[in-house]
């Protein structure tokens, strides 16, 4: 019987499948960080349980830590954050785990370093106590975010109890027009299909547009699958994938690499595989996207205006639009390009890889950040930071007036002191424009790295195709 | 884990869709290594004014809803991050049951690990319930997990679907980890087989030295 890629990975990981019980699914890699793991390790201590596979469990500091250059423990903003950090360090020691701490050259945002170091490989199941774990799906991985109780479950058993999700194929066809990126595709897809379209499903992104995306672009797309409500996002591995993985430190080497590639080539969905749902999206006419509201589905073309709630017939949706405009401090009919920004954040597991920084740098080169705009570039990993410095990207950003930071989640989740104040408006390359996400009362507009950099220079949103 | 069997409770309506976990438990309150201490920060950004005083307009602060144990909400409740702090806060505040047309997947799972029952009912029923709650001070619903029913004060019975394993786990207060560990033989057999099939999955190596 023909199978989808997800079916193949699922079937290869079933440890126990008895009718009336949850399926016991084996987990190949478990990534842990300082914010959602302390209670899980405490649970192991209380019950006297061990970590079943320390070799498959990798820890990293990313959510709470400072990103200022030359950071030290003294830069951690408060005692509570410090306790999360020292607790992670202690747990890594006690349970014999690899930890990338604040000073490690391999440190970075958990979803950046997994693929970057070759920890994430096609055909795997991978979990992390973080919803953007969907990012890893770009390599053909069933990767899901889990809660802390489940983190404890995986630490103790290397398994997860799951009900088999449904499958969805989102076929994206067309050639990406100049000025648009994987981020614009992701926002457009969510704008078209809604923030709940993927609920209960694993989304496979397919089609010519996806095939032509780099691995980094595919990661941006899969990262945002959770914003479409999906349990996971995936892209079938291909030559682009194998070339990306080859030579990475944790990846198999030599003969074992060839053996792995032979297995990975079997992963793609069979041509006649049946999905529970199918959607088609064409991007031939895609424009750069800007969110105007308080969820990623509230998005429009940069050339458009803020929508008028009065034109929405569904009362609940109309009410949602009204609330969003109120929170965002926007008027119906206001042109997107007239919206001024106070802050620009280039970073997060969505858009902080090298390609993202290269795209952003193109629009910053030889320019100056607009007066009164605060602009941050927070590379996704210390490795990205190092290469960006070697390529001269860091100099471009610094000379333009951007702050050049060390790696971490930073202003995407606003736990480490990098945050918006009440009413402050931000062009952000992150993934969530929720109320208060980047700081209480902060107003977030999600955009691509190129659009963010251009907004920093202009002081308001601009159509980068006009530059 | 504490079992969930039946609940008869006061209902609080939160008439918003896409309520996300950043709204349920803002990230600045996640800097803790404990599972407790979240009751006072539930919905913090809506619940408190800028001076820290309770916002009288927010439903959680209205006298008629004090002591509620059932939260009625709009579509896609709990979307966003995987933080279990969201159900920890909801449970610690006193809610044991949530009713909505749909829930986000990770949040839905997290509820079960915290003895909180998320009930999915048709949008039209949820809308009716919203109208009834708002029209009736002291409005209560009765939830019976074994029977998979929600019963209104007028005696209307709404049946809900739930996965049978999740249902049994909640009814018994099952220790999921203990249950999985009871199948240790299956896990070991799987690992032995898999090590042959895909040896590269077993390569990562524990406790790599730090690199400065």
pLDDT class of A271 with cuts at 50, 70, 90: very high
Pick B204's closest partner by Cβ from A26, A55, A149. A55
Interchain pair B163, A22: CB under 8 A: yes
CB-based contacts of A417: which residues, under 8 Å, 6+ apart? A66, A77
% of chain A beyond a pLDDT of 90: 99
Provide ipTM, 2 decimals. 0.96
DSSP code per residue over B12-39 = EEE--SS-BHHHHS-GGG---S-S---G
Q: How far is CA A225 from the centre of its chain?
A: 9
Residues of B in contact with A156 (CB under 8 A): 177, 180-181
Q: What is the CA radius of gyration of chain A?
A: 21
Report pLDDT for B207.
59
Q: Is the pLDDT of residue A330 over 70?
A: yes
For residues A204 and A315, give the distance between their C-alpha atoms in angstroms, rounded to a whole number: 32
d(CA A203, CA B190): 27
The chain-wide mean pLDDT, for chain A, equals 97
Q: Given CB atoms, is A312 within the 8 Å cutoff of chain B?
A: no
**Ranges under pLDDT 70 in chain B:** 204-208
Neighbours of B141 (CB within 10 A): 23
Neighbours of B3 (CB within 10 A): 12
Smallest CA–CA distance, residue A81 to chain B, in Å, is 5
Q: What value does the mean pLDDT take over residues A293-312? A: 97
- Who among B76, B106, B190 is closest to A196 (CB)? B76
Between chains, do A98 and B207 touch, taking CB under 8 Å as contact? yes
Cβ-based contacts under 8 A for chains A and B: 216
Binding-face residues of B in 118-137 toward A, CB within 8 A: none
Asked if B195 is an interface residue toward chain A (Cβ–Cβ < 8 A), one would say no
**Measured between beta carbons, which residues in chain A are less than 8 angstroms from residue B183?**
15-16, 24
Determine whether the interchain pair A437/B83 forms a contact, defined as Cβ–Cβ distance below 8 Å.
no
Contact check, Cβ <8 Å, A38/B191:
no
8 Å CB contact of B27 and A437? yes
Set of chain B residues whose Cβ sits within 8 Å of the Cβ of A152: 177
Task: Please report the sign of the dihedral spanned by the C-alpha atoms of residue A384, residue A386, residue A392, residue A398.
Answer: positive
Given a cut of 60, is residue A222 above it in pLDDT? yes
Q: What is the pLDDT of residues A405-440, one digit of tens each?
A: 999 999 999 999 999 999 999 999 999 999 999 999
Q: Annotate A307-347 with three-state secondary structure.
A: CCHHHCCCHHHHHHHHHHHHHHCCCCCCEHHHCECCEEEEC
Residue B50 with chain A: CB contacts under 8 Å: 422
Taking the whole predicted model, whether its pTM rises above 0.90 is answered as: yes
B163 touches chain A (CB under 8 A): yes
Residue B191 and residue A436: Cβ atoms within 8 Å? no
Q: Kindly report the nearest CA distance between residue B140 and chain A, in angstroms.
A: 24
pLDDT, position B204 = 62
- Does A131 sit within 8 Å of B82, measured CB to CB? yes
Rounded distance between C-alpha atoms, residue B64 and residue B87, angstroms: 23
Is residue B30 less than 8 Å (CB to CB) from chain A? yes
Partners of B17 on chain A (C-beta within 8 Å) are 316-317, 320
Q: What is the pLDDT of residue A420?
A: 98
Q: Which helix (H) or strand (E) holds A364?
A: helix A354-364
Round to whole Å and give the CA distance between A245 and A358.
Answer: 21
Using CB atoms within 10 A of its CB, is residue A280 exposed (0-12), middle (13-18) or buried (19+)? exposed
Q: Is A16 on the interface with B (CB under 8 A)?
A: yes
pLDDT given at position B205: 57
Of A157, A250, A440, the CB nearest to B180: A157
Contact: B183, A16; criterion CB under 8 Å: yes
Provide the pairing of β-strand A299-301 with A277-282: unpaired
> Interior CA angle at A303 toward A339 and A373, to 5°?
30
Nearest CA in chain A to B166: A22
Give the integer Cα–Cα distance in Å for A54 and A101. Answer: 17
Q: B180 to chain A: which residues are within 8 Å by CB?
A: 24, 153, 156-157, 159, 161
Q: What local confidence, expressed as pLDDT, does residue A1 receive?
A: 84
Q: Is A415 within 8 Å of B31 (Cβ atoms)?
A: yes
pLDDT over threshold 90, residue A348: yes
Best probe of the B interface among A43, A131, A198, A381, by most B CBs < 10 A, is A131
Strands (E), B152-206: 157-159
Q: Rounded to an integer, what distance in angstroms lies between the CA atom of residue A189 and that of residue A283?
A: 10
The pLDDT of residue B192 is 97
Question: Region A114-139: what's the mean pLDDT?
Answer: 98
Q: What is the CA A168 to chain-centroid distance, rounded?
A: 20
Reply yes or no on whether the pLDDT at A146 is more than 90: yes
Nearest to B204 among A103, A199, A250 (CB): A250
Q: How far is CA A429 from CA A228, A287, A355, A466, B27, in A?
A: 17, 16, 13, 20, 18
The single residue listed with the structure tokens 């399926």 is A23
How many CB atoms neighbour CB A258 within 10 A? 11
What are the strands, taking DSSP E only, across A309-450? 343-346, 374-377, 403-404, 425-428, 443-446
Q: Is the minimum CB–CB distance between B113 and chain A shorter than 8 Å?
A: yes
Residues of chain A contacting B203 with CB distance shorter than 8 Å: 55, 250, 252, 256
């Amino acid at each position: 019987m023909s199978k989808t890629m997800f079916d193949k990975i699922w079937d290869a990981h079933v440890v126990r499948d008895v009718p009336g019980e949850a399926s016991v699914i084996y987990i190949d890699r478990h990534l842990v960080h300082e914010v959602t793991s302390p209670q899980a390790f405490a649970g192991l201590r209380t019950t006297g349980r061990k970590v079943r596979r320390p070799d498959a469990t990798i820890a990293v500091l990313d959510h709470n830590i400072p990103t200022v250059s030359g950071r030290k423990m003294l830069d951690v903003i408060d005692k509570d954050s410090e306790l999360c950090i020292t607790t992670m360090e202690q747990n890594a020691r006690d349970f014999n785990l690899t930890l990338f701490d604040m000073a490690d050259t391999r440190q970075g945002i958990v979803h950046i370093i997994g693929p970057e170091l070759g920890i994430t490989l096609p055909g795997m199941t991978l979990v992390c106590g973080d919803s953007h774990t969907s990012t890893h799906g770009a390599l053909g991985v069933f990767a899901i975010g889990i809660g802390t109780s489940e983190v404890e479950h995986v630490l103790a058993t290397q398994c997860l109890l799951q009900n088999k999700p449904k499958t969805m194929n989102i076929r994206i066809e067309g050639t990406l027009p100049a000025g648009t990126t994987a981020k614009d595709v992701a926002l457009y897809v969510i704008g078209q299909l809604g923030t709940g379209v993927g609920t209960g499903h694993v989304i496979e992104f397919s089609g010519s547009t996806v095939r032509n995306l780099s691995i980094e672009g595919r990661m941006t797309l899969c990262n945002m699958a959770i914003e479409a409500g999906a349990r996971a996002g995936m892209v079938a591995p291909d030559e682009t994938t194998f070339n990306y993985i080859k030579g990475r430190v944790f990846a198999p080497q030599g003969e074992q690499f060839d053996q792995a590639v032979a297995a990975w080539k079997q992963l793609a969905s069979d041509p006649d595989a049946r999905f529970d749902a199918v959607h088609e999206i064409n991007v031939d006419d895609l424009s750069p996207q800007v969110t105007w509201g308080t969820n990623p589905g509230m998005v429009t073309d940069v050339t458009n205006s803020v929508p008028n709630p009065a034109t929405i017939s569904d009362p609940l949706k109309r009410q949602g639009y009204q609330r969003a405009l109120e929170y965002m401090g926007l008027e119906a009919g206001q042109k997107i390009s007239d919206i001024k920004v106070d802050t620009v954040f280039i970073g997060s597991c969505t858009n902080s890889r090298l390609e993202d920084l290269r795209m952003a740098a193109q629009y910053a080169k030889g320019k100056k950040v607009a007066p009164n705009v605060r602009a941050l570039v927070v590379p996704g990993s210390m490795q990205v930071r190092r290469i960006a410095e070697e390529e001269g990207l860091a100099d471009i950003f610094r000379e333009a007036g951007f702050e050049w930071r060390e790696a971490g989640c930073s202003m995407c989740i606003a736990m480490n002191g990098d945050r918006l104040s009440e009413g402050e408006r931000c062009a952000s390359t992150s993934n969530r424009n929720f109320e208060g996400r980047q700081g209480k009362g902060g107003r977030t507009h999600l955009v691509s790295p190129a659009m963010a950099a251009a907004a920093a220079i202009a002081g308001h949103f601009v159509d980068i195709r006009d530059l | 884990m504490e079992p969930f069997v039946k609940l008869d409770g006061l209902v609080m309506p939160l008439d918003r869709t896409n309520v996300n976990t950043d709204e349920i438990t803002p990230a600045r309150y996640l800097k803790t290594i404990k599972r407790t201490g979240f009751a006072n920060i539930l919905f913090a950004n809506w619940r408190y004014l800028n001076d820290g005083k309770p916002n009288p307009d927010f439903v959680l602060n209205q006298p008629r809803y004090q002591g509620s144990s059932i939260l009625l909400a709009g579509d896609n409740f709990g979307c966003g991050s995987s933080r279990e702090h969201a159900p920890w806060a909801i449970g610690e505040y006193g809610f044991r049951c949530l009713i909505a047309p749909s829930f986000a997947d990770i949040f839905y799972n997290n509820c079960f690990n915290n003895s909180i029952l998320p009930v999915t009912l048709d949008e039209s029923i949820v809308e009716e319930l919203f109208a009834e709650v708002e029209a009736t001070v002291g409005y209560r619903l009765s939830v019976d997990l074994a029977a998979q029913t929600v019963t209104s004060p007028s005696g209307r019975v709404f049946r809900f679907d739930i996965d049978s394993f999740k249902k049994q786990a909640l009814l018994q207060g099952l220790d999921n980890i203990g249950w999985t560990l009871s199948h240790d033989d299956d896990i070991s057999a799987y690992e032995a087989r898999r090590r042959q099939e895909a040896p590269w999955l077993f390569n990562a190596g524990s406790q790599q030295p730090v690199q400065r």
